[in-house]
């Protein structure tokens, strides 16, 4: 199995471990990622970090040899498999961080897009080069990228297939931060900036923000009111407000 799943400290760490193939995605590997995400969802981890083994690639995309001579039904099922697994990542109960070390092309870029946050090493490069093969992204890239960086920039990346270096990715909002070695330590430090808060509040906040991309402003405001009311009813909210009044650090219990 080319997926390593460990639980250091309060985190889950999912590593795509196929460095000899630049961590390329076979269909069986995508299925393994799905099983690993199920295990993460059942765990007590407060955040997930996703990365690739080695220094050359986070994930260089699909295993092209598997894409040739497929029937239309096989191709459709393959796209649906990738979309379903990456949607699991998007919908995890805890926030996720793509730690992009090196190439994140095609499906690798789409994994990163499905994460809550993206951190990049200085040598990271992002791209959706499917157009160069006469194809288009099929694992969510055409949908998540414009929501993240806007339609015009997304179309430029998708229609040209041009790889985007880390500095440019930061500038356009594709990544949150560029991190220096050791990048794994930097990812955990970044995660601790939000995992110190109550998990229920974090989940409600993420859900409210997600509604902004999929509904009208009026409907989103109603969802925000509902979710903020649910947050107010939690024990963590009571503790947070009391701690503020008492000028002390709150002790959240995820309740």
Q: Is 50 helix (H, G, I), strand (E, B) or coil?
A: strand
Q: Tell me whether residue 212 is exposed, middle or buried, using C-beta atoms within 10 angstroms of its C-beta: 0 to 12, 13 to 18, 19 or more.
A: middle
Tokens of 217: 């402003």
Q: Report helix, strand or coil for 171.
A: helix
**H or E stretch at 18:** none
Evaluated on CA atoms 175, 179, 184, 187, the torsion sign reads negative
Indicate which residues carry an active-site annotation.
110, 130
Q: Please say whether the beta carbons of 109 and 126 come within 8 A.
A: yes
């Amino acid at each position: 199995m080319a997926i390593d799943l460990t639980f250091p400290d309060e985190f889950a760490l999912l590593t795509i471990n196929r460095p000899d193939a630049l961590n390329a995605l076979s269909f069986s590997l995508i299925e393994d990622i799905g099983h690993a995400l199920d295990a993460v969802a059942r765990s007590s981890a407060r955040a997930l970090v996703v990365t690739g083994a080695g220094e050359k690639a986070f994930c260089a995309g699909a295993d092209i040899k598997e894409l040739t001579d497929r029937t239309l039904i096989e191709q459709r099922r393959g796209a649906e498999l990738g979309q379903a697994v990456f949607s699991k990542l998007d919908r995890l109960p805890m926030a996720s961080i793509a730690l992009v070390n090196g190439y994140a092309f095609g499906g690798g870029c789409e994994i990163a897009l499905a994460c809550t946050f993206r951190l990049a090493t200085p040598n990271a490069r992002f791209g959706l080069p499917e157009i160069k093969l006469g194809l288009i992204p099929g694992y969510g890239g055409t949908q998540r990228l414009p929501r993240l960086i806007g339609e015009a920039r997304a179309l430029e990346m998708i229609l040209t297939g041009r790889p985007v270096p880390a500095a440019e990715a930061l500038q356009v909002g594709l990544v949150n931060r560029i991190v220096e070695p050791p990048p794994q330590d930097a990812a955990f430090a970044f995660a601790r900036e939000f995992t110190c808060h109550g998990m229920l509040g974090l989940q409600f906040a993420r859900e409210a923000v997600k509604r902004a991309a999929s509904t009208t402003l009026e409907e989103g405001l109603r969802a925000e009111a509902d979710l903020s009311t649910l947050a107010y009813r939690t024990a963590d909210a009571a503790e947070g407000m009391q701690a503020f009044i008492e000028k002390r650090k709150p002790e959240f219990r995820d309740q």
